[in-house]
Amino acid sequence: MGKSAPRKKQLAAGDEESARSRLLNAATHLFCKNGINATGIDAIIDEAGTAKTTLYKLFGSKTNLVNAVLESEGKAWREWFIGAMEDGGGDAQAKLKRIFPALKRWFAEERFYGCPFINAVAEHDKHQKQFRNIALRHKKVVLAHIEKLAGEMGASEPQVLAHQLALLIDGAIVAAMVSRDPGVADTAGLAAGNLFGPSKVRKPKRTGSAAELVAV
């Protein structure tokens, strides 16, 4: 009988998880810094310190790796963003007013390269639904939390207010990426403040007897 072919070395579970993490971190950094199309597989495996076969074993293709990066980054960003609003407690308006100071801190980070979802959609065929759908799922979660807080604040149209704030958020992200000026968050925050005026908030319903209302 002829000699059997050598068996490929299998990654242990711990090694596989480590390699996956390194590949995700490397791809995230390079995709955000240089762009998805401009980043080749060789650059990713070089930064991650893994073999090309490992990348394909774990992700199957570059497209699958891009999807994994966007899903991972989206989850991490949402946890950070919602946490930044909720941290410190207070009423709903206080939480909404934390949005732009939090963004300013993010804009000032050395590795701030803008929103990976905006970047991914921007650099690909505008008819391609794959990255757009991931971006829309991400935005839906963010919008839902902002809308919930807007409702708790007593906004007359919570959904409208949430979309207005989302537009200011996206605009500030793009402006900060282009200008490298974290201060654009302050300008967006001032604009957002105009959305919290009395005309935008429902008057609280009064309860009690007519006598009590007259006394008030």
Contact, 26 vs 65, CB < 8 A?
no
Sequential DSSP letters for 53-76: HHHHHHHSSHHHHHHHHHHHHHHH
Residues 60-110 pLDDT 10s: 999 999 999 999 999 999 999 999 999 988 999 999 999 999 999 999 999
d(CA 166, CA 83): 17
What is the average per-residue pLDDT within 184-205? 79
**Arch. (CATH architecture) of 69-200:** Orthogonal Bundle (1.10)
Domain chopping of the chain, boundaries = 13-60, 69-200
**Residue 199 clears pLDDT 60, i.e. is over it:** no
**Residue 3 clears pLDDT 60, i.e. is over it:** no
Domain pair 13-60 / 69-200, same fold = no
What was the pLDDT predicted at 200?
56
pLDDT band at 167 (very low <50, low <70, confident <90, very high): very high
Cα–Cα distances (Å) from 191 to 100, 170, 172, 185, in that order, read: 10, 13, 11, 10
pTM attached to this predicted model: 0.80
CATH class of 13-60: mainly alpha
**Residue 8 clears pLDDT 70, i.e. is over it:** no
pLDDT band at 196 (very low <50, low <70, confident <90, very high): confident
